[in-house]
Amino acid sequence: MTTSAPTRPPRARKPKPEGQWKVDGKEPLNHNEEFKAADDGFHVRARIEETYSKDGFASIDPDDLHGRFRWWGLYTQRKPGIDGGKTGSLSDAEIEDEYFMMRVRLDGGTLTRQQLKTLATISTEFARGTADITDRQNIQYHWIRIEDVPEIWRRLEEAGMDTVSACGDVPRVILGSPVAGVAQDEIIDPTPVLEQIKAEVRTLEFSNLPRKYKTAVTGSPALDVVHEINDCSFVGVVHPELGPGYDIWVGGALSVQPFLGQRLGAFVREDQALDVWRGVTGIFRDYGYRRLRNRARLKFLVKDWGVEKFRQVLQDEYLGYELADGPAPAQPTEPGDHIGVHKQQDGRNFIGVAPRAGRVPGQLLHDLADVMERFGSDRLRTTPHQKLLVLDIDDDDVTDAVDALNALDLPTKPGAFRRTTMACTGIEFCKLAIVETKEVASEVMDDLDRRLEDVDLPAPITLHINGCPNSCARIQAADIGLKGQLLPTEDGGQKPGYQVHLGGGFSSAERGMDASLGRTVRGLKVFQDELADYVERLTRRFLEQREPDESFAAWSIRAEEDDLK
Taking only the tens place, the pLDDT of each residue in 315-363 is 999 999 999 999 999 999 899 999 999 999 999 999 999 999 999 999 9
What is the pTM for the complete model shown?
0.95
> Are 448 and 350 members of one domain?
no
For the segment 475-485, the average pLDDT, to the nearest whole number, is 96
**What local confidence, expressed as pLDDT, does residue 1 receive?**
45
Residue 379's DSSP bridge partners are 112
CA distance 433 to 361: 21
Question: Does 268 reside within a domain?
Answer: yes
Instruction: Write the CA distances from 116 to 98, 153, 366, 367, 429, integer angstroms.
Output: 27, 15, 8, 10, 23
CA distance 82 to 77: 12
Which amino acid, one-letter code, is at 246?
Y
CATH of the domain at 398: 3.90.480.10
Asked if 339 and 353 touch (Cβ cutoff 8 Å), the reply is yes
For the segment 97-124, the average pLDDT, to the nearest whole number, is 98
> Nearest-CA neighbor of 496 among 435, 430, 431, 428?
435
Surface-to-core class of residue 535, CB atoms within 10 Å of its CB (0-12 exposed, 13-18 middle, 19+ buried): buried
Three-state DSSP at 204 gives helix
pLDDT digits (tens, 9 = 90+) for 134-169: 999 999 999 999 999 999 999 999 999 999 999 999
**What local confidence, expressed as pLDDT, does residue 65 receive?**
98
Q: Give alpha helix (H) positions in 288-410.
A: 298-305, 307-313, 362-374, 398-407
> Are 484 and 527 members of one domain?
yes
> Are 190 and 329 members of one domain?
yes
Asked if 371 and 404 touch (Cβ cutoff 8 Å), the reply is yes
pLDDT digits (tens, 9 = 90+) for 61-70: 999 999 999 9
**What local confidence, expressed as pLDDT, does residue 11 receive?**
64
> Are 388 and 460 members of one domain?
no
> Are 318 and 218 members of one domain?
yes
Q: Which of 333, 360, 392 is the last residue of a domain?
A: 333
Contacts by residues 61-65 (CB-CB < 8 Å, ≥ 24 positions apart):
63/35, 63/38
Q: Which of 408, 442, 461 is the last residue of a domain?
A: 408
CATH of the domain at 547: 3.30.413.10
Residue 219: give the domain boundaries. 186-333
Q: Give alpha helix (H) positions in 421-487.
A: 438-451
**What local confidence, expressed as pLDDT, does residue 4 receive?**
53
CA distance 203 to 323: 26
